[in-house]
Amino acid sequence: MDWLKKLLQSLPLDAISDVLGNLVVWWSHLVEGVPPAQLPLYAYIGGSIVVLLLWLLVVRLLPKPLGGISWVMLFAVLFAPGSALGDPSALAPASIGVVYSLMMKDVSGAIANALPILVVTVAGLFVGFIWQLLRGAIESNLAKSRLRAEQDAAAQLQLAGGNYLADKELVEEASSAHQAKLVKTKK
Asked if pLDDT for residue 21 goes beyond 60, the answer is yes
Q: What is the per-residue pLDDT across 31-59, written as a single tens digit (0 to 9) for each?
A: 888 888 888 788 888 888 989 999 998 89
Total count of residues recorded for the chain: 187
In terms of C-beta density within 10 A (0-12 exposed, 13-18 middle, 19 or more buried), how is residue 22 classed? Answer: exposed
DSSP-based helix, strand, coil % in the chain, nearest 5: 80, 5, 15
Task: Pick the more confident residue, 79 or 184.
Answer: 79
Please check the confidence at residue 24 and state whether its pLDDT lies above 70: yes
pLDDT class for 113, splitting at 50, 70, 90? confident
Question: pLDDT per residue over 46-99, tens digit each?
Answer: 888 989 999 998 898 989 889 999 999 999 999 888 876 666 666 778 888 888
pTM beyond 0.75: no
Band of the pLDDT at 9, cuts 50, 70, 90?
confident
pLDDT of 187 higher than 60: no
120: CB partners within 8 A, 6+ apart? 75, 76, 79, 80
pLDDT at position 135 is: 92
CA-based angle 97:112:129, to the nearest 5?
95
In the predicted structure, residue 134 carries a pLDDT above the cut 90: yes
Asked whether 167 and 173 are in contact (CB, 8 A), the reply is no
CA distance linking residue 83 with residue 70, whole number of Å: 24
Report the pLDDT averaged over residues 105-129. 92
Q: How many CA atoms lie within 13 A of 93 on its CB side?
A: 14
pLDDT, tens digit, for every residue of 135-183?
999 999 998 999 898 888 887 777 777 665 555 555 555 556 555 654 5
Per-residue pLDDT at 133 exceeds 90: yes
